């Protein structure tokens, strides 16, 4: 694309007066995600029994797998708000969070040849926050099945199909790694 056409495309987007405070339209979000790293928060949630809460990810961007719930930041948003919005969306409740992340990671998945635009959703800067659920919280999966996107479950150890890109957190997740796999 020549520079005039690119300048015109940028001007069209500026004139659209897109409000990034509530997120971007999906197509624009995907375009941006292929150009710059996206900041996101991930929620490290455990229960009194020491289990780790994971949710199922089953969409076109990642292999079906269990992952730590998370969400991408919006323009002007504080970490606390994104953590709460993510908890509400993925777990159905608000959480109590520690103010400082337990980990900050450069998450580079790279190109995804299964996508029409392979770089989309390929690079994040992820912040992992320790969170606690409200007292008496009970998982509510509704009519979701364990293989469905968004299904939540407690784990004593990381499942074999734990999302590969979240292996950047294995040092933090050491208590949930099977003893025979720690060596």
pLDDT digits (tens, 9 = 90+) for 111-169: 888 888 888 888 999 999 999 999 999 999 999 999 999 999 999 999 999 999 999 99
- pTM confidence score: 0.91
C-alpha to C-alpha distances, 16 to 9, 24, 29, 89, nearest whole angstrom: 11, 12, 14, 28
All structural domains of the chain, each given as residue ranges with its CATH number in brackets, are 3-177 (3.90.79.10)
pLDDT band at 21 (very low <50, low <70, confident <90, very high): confident
Cα dihedral 96, 100, 102, 106 sign: positive
Q: Can you tell me which residue has the tokens 């060596």?
A: 183
- Share of the chain residues as helix, strand and coil, in percent rounded to the nearest 5: 25, 25, 45
DSSP assignment letter at 164: G
Rounded Cα distance between 67 and 76, Å, is 26
pLDDT digits (tens, 9 = 90+) for 30-69: 899 899 999 999 999 999 999 999 999 988 777 899 999 9
Q: What is the DSSP string of 30-47?
A: HHHHTTSPEEEEEEEEB-
């Amino acid at each position: 694309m020549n520079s005039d056409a690119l300048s015109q495309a940028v001007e069209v987007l500026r004139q659209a007066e897109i409000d990034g405070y509530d997120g971007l339209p999906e197509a624009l979000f995907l375009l941006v995600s292929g150009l710059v790293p996206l900041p996101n928060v991930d929620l490290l949630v455990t229960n009194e029994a020491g289990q780790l809460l994971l949710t199922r990810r089953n969409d076109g961007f990642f292999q079906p797998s269990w992952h730590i719930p998370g969400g991408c930041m919006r323009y002007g948003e504080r970490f606390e708000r994104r953590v709460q919005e993510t908890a509400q969306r993925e777990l159905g409740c608000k959480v109590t969070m520690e103010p400082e992340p337990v980990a900050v990671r450069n998450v580079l998945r790279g190109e995804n040849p299964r996508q029409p635009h392979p770089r989309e959703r390929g690079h994040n800067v992820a912040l992992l926050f320790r969170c606690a659920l409200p007292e008496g919280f009970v998982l509510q999966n509704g009519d979701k099945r364990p293989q469905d996107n968004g299904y939540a479950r407690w784990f004593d150890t990381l499942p074999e199909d734990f999302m590969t890109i979240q292996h950047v957190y294995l040092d933090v997740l050491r208590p949930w790694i099977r003893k025979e796999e720690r060596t």
